């Protein structure tokens, strides 16, 4: 399975852009940028006049930035695992991947133990070209029982989510 680093890369890019913009604003406000006069304008005269003539544009900009900040905050919290239940089980995930090693194109496999081994959550993502019937049959007859016996007590409930991508 490949390691998913898209969230980390995306957050690093967004964070770097915000850090650069914040540093520029700070340096600009403290008049520490060389070559700029203390009263130098940020916007050209035409842009400043059009914004002054239509004040709703500033409100639209503020609303857009607020929505962007909320979406970024949600993305950050979800990438940290906030809102997920249970703890990851590396043993269970490894057993799931080994049991389904002959299935081509698996893109996601995860096993989580919820509560004090109360329930087991198994998540699996596969392409639409995969034989879903065979995967479900294999999960039902062999893999889930083995994972349950190894990770938690055998009589606990298990929820299996199979996501088929197009």
pLDDT at position 15 is 84
- Give the closest residue to 151 by CA, choosing from 124, 104, 119: 119
Measured between alpha carbons, how far apart are the two ends of the chain, in Å?
A: 19
pLDDT at position 1 is 37
* Beta-sheet pairing, 87-88 with 119-127: unpaired
How far is it, in rounded angstroms, from Cα 149 to Cα 138? 16
pLDDT at position 20 is 94
pLDDT at position 83 is 65
pLDDT per residue as tens digits for the range 118-162: 788 888 988 888 888 888 888 888 888 888 888 877 677 888 888
How far is it, in rounded angstroms, from Cα 68 to Cα 72? 6
According to DSSP, residue 2 is labeled: P
List, in order of start, the domains of the chain with CATH numbers.
6-79 (no CATH), 87-165 (3.30.300)
Q: Check pLDDT > 50 for residue 2.
A: no
Counting Cβ atoms within 10 Å, is residue 115 exposed (0-12), middle (13-18) or buried (19+)? Answer: exposed
pLDDT per residue as tens digits for the range 65-123: 899 889 888 877 877 777 667 777 888 888 888 888 887 778 888 888 887 657 888 88
Which ranges in the chain belong to alpha helices (H)?
A: 6-29, 45-53, 56-79, 90-99, 132-138, 144-151
pLDDT at position 117 is 59
């Amino acid at each position: 399975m490949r390691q998913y680093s898209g969230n980390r890369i995306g957050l690093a890019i967004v964070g770097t852009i915000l850090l650069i913009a914040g540093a520029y604003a700070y340096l600009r406000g403290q008049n520490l940028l060389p070559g700029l006069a203390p009263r130098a304008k940020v916007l050209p005269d035409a842009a400043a006049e059009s914004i002054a003539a239509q004040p709703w544009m500033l409100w639209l900009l503020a609303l857009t930035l607020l929505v962007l900040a909320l979406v970024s905050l949600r993305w950050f919290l979800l990438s940290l695992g906030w809102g997920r239940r249970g703890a990851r089980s590396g043993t269970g995930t490894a057993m799931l991947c080994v049991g389904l090693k002959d299935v081509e194109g698996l893109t996601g496999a995860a096993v989580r133990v919820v509560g004090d081994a109360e329930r087991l959550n198994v998540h699996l993502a596969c392409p639409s070209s995969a034989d879903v019937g065979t995967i479900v049959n294999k999960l039902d007859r062999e893999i889930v029982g083995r994972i349950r016996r190894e990770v938690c007590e055998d009589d606990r409930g298990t929820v299996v989510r199979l996501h088929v991508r197009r």
